[in-house]
Amino acid sequence: MSYGIKYQTQFIEGRHDEADKGWCYKHQHYRAHNQMAWFLKEGEDISEKRCVLQPYVRYLEVPSFQGYESIYCTASCAPPERYGDSDDIHQLCMVKWDKIIDVHTLPKWTNPVAVAYPRLDYHIKMDCEDGTVNFSVHYQGSKVGEEEVEVQFN
């Protein structure tokens, strides 16, 4: 199995599917939606304990934030780079943030048209050992959400 998340990134002509192209007023450019980032891919060696930590950013518009992260899985030998390219991608679990973030305490990011948004920097961490995968969300060095899943490794 492969385990990952769905995300969006700046749209690049010829690389991303036109169906995923959408204008983002925050970034003031086109974004490619439905992209997949895989923490662990089918066939990778996990004979030893493995830990993967990936950084992420959100630009918020609400006074407080208590989010969740959806974790996906696929049994495809070559996990797709795009959500929707395979009927085999399924939501495995959701990691709910235990902490409510006061967005007024966050640093600001200003877009190209001078609109400022609170910037939330965080990490998603995946640990796997002995048939268990633990997904956690970390903010400012502290764990703010966690979900443990029993899985089968090939």
Q: Which residue has the tokens 């200003």?
A: 110
Q: List per-residue pLDDT tens for the chain, 154 residues long.
A: 889 999 999 999 999 999 999 999 999 999 999 999 998 888 776 666 578 899 999 999 888 888 889 999 998 888 999 998 778 899 999 999 998 899 999 999 999 999 999 999 999 999 887 777 889 999 999 999 988 887 665 5
pLDDT of residue 152: 60
Q: Which among 97, 102, 96, 100 is positioned nearest to 63, based on CA atoms?
A: 102
What's the domain range around 65? 2-150
Dihedral of the CA atoms 96, 151, 5, 95 (nearest 10)?
0
Q: Which among 70, 66, 67 is positioned nearest to 36, based on CA atoms?
A: 70
Write out the two tokens for 68: 């969740």
Give the number of domains in the chain: 1
The secondary structure of residue 80, as a DSSP letter, is -
Q: What is the pTM of this model?
A: 0.85
H and E: helices and strands count for the chain:
0, 12
How many Å apart are CA 121 and CA 130, to the nearest integer? 30
pLDDT of residue 51: 86
